[in-house]
Amino acid sequence: MSFSWPWALLSILVIPLIFAIREWARRRRRRAAVRVTSIALVRSALPGRTRWTRKIPPALFMAGVALLAVGAARPQASVPVPQTSTTILLALDTSGSMCSTDVDPNRITAAKKAATEFIESQRGGPRIGLVTFAGTAGLLVPPTDDTDSLIEALDNLTVSRGTAIGQAVLTSIDAIAEVDPSVASTGAKPGDGGSGYAGAAIVVLTDGANTQGVDPKLAAQEAALRRVRVFPIGFGTTNPAPMVCDNSQFDGRGFGGWGGGFGGRGGFDRGRNPRTIDEPALKQIAQTTGGSYHRAENADQLQSALDALPGSFAVVHQRVDTAAAFAAGGGILVTAALSLSLWWNRPRTSAR
């Protein structure tokens, strides 16, 4: 819990002041006490209350004053709020290592199938955009609710050299900024941050580590400044397997003139093992932006990871002003204290 006006909490000091005044009044009454000769007469004149009931009104009053003081400080609490509109950017790795056949028939085919099923499951829901990245990142489909155009774009994915994870995050931010005025583009200064997360999220599906372009940690910081969460998915295994892509999955550029299918020759991306996922970096991206990291070693696990994401998108945490609740509670306690005090100290009529 945080406070908009924390200095208003100083009003709680009125409680010890009230206690001091009460003690002063009690001692003054003691000095002005009148001696009587009959204890029975005194007892008959006192209200019919036990010792502990006399403490109830003061306790309620003090508790009410404390709640009113907290309410005056404008407390804010972080609460889950349903997200009414969401924009999701799917950033898909199309580096050469996505041709690895450790996932049947190969990683790129399994990723396309899982992404297609995810998009189908969101039909009529959030806007979805597609970004692909290898040596560079590019916006394939701007955020849209046209499911058919998204699936058609997935059918035409091809692989190339390099892995630019950081650039993919920045490209996704710019795509979100085009349709969401609350999110600043990467070339603009972010706003004051507001409260909670933006109604947008980025899903990065990759099987490797960043080899080119912007450092993913810097890209994650840019996303965090704009309250955009990033959900990385590390895909694939560490098992040795041939890398095979057919003609429709290979763009024919950036591999020294290789054509058609290829297999067995690793060493893409500057000698990096194409089967090594930089999990520490992906986890850091998720932690920095408020997202979560998911690991998928096969097609079923990838599908499960994607299916679990909408639950994270549907609810965001926002700061809500709870001053009214504290003020109402304080007012009720103070009213109850005064009412009980007046009731128990009302004039009593003697029986005839």
Please state the φ and ψ torsions of residue 120, each to the nearest 5 degrees: -60, -40
| pLDDT score at 276 | 78
- pLDDT tens by residue, 29-77: 666 655 555 555 555 555 555 566 667 777 777 787 787 777 777 777 7
- pLDDT tens by residue, 250-270: 665 544 433 344 443 333 433
Name the more confident of 168 and 52: 168
E-strand ranges in 180-228 read: 200-206
Structure token pair of residue 297 = 């070693």
pTM over 0.85: no
Does the pLDDT value for residue 274 go beyond 80? no
350 falls within a domain:
no
- pLDDT tens by residue, 209-245: 999 999 999 999 999 999 999 999 999 998 888 988 8
Please state the φ and ψ torsions of residue 65, each to the nearest 5 degrees: -65, -40
**CB atoms < 10 A from the CB of 193, how many?**
11
Nearest one of 30, 84, 35, 26 to 58, comparing CA atoms: 26
Mean pLDDT, to the nearest integer, of 292-318?
A: 82
Question: How far apart are alpha carbons 76 and 1 in whole angstroms?
Answer: 6
Q: Are 47 and 306 contacting, i.e. CB atoms less than 8 angstroms apart?
A: no
Q: Are residues 88 and 203 in the same domain?
A: yes
Name the more confident of 303 and 252: 303
Sheet holding 75-82, edge to edge: 2-3, 75-82, 315-321
Supply the mean pLDDT for the chain: 80
Name the more confident of 56 and 349: 56
349 falls within a domain:
no
Domain boundaries, position 25 = 2-78+322-344
Provide CB contacts within 8 A for 5, sequence distance 6+. Answer: 72, 73, 74
Q: Are residues 335 and 255 in the same domain?
A: no
Q: Are residues 179 and 90 in the same domain?
A: yes
**CB atoms < 10 A from the CB of 185, how many?**
15
Provide CB contacts within 8 A for 352, sequence distance 6+. Answer: none
Mean pLDDT, to the nearest integer, of 70-87?
A: 67
Q: Are residues 280 and 177 in the same domain?
A: yes
Kindly tell me the sign of the dihedral angle through the C-alpha atoms of 90, 94, 100, 104.
positive
Q: Are 283 and 94 contacting, i.e. CB atoms less than 8 angstroms apart?
A: no
Helices (H), 234-322: 279-289, 299-314
Q: Are residues 237 and 258 in the same domain?
A: yes
Q: Are residues 215 and 93 in the same domain?
A: yes
List the CATH number of the domain containing 255.
3.40.50.410
Q: How many domains does the chain have?
A: 2
Does the pLDDT value for residue 206 go beyond 70? yes
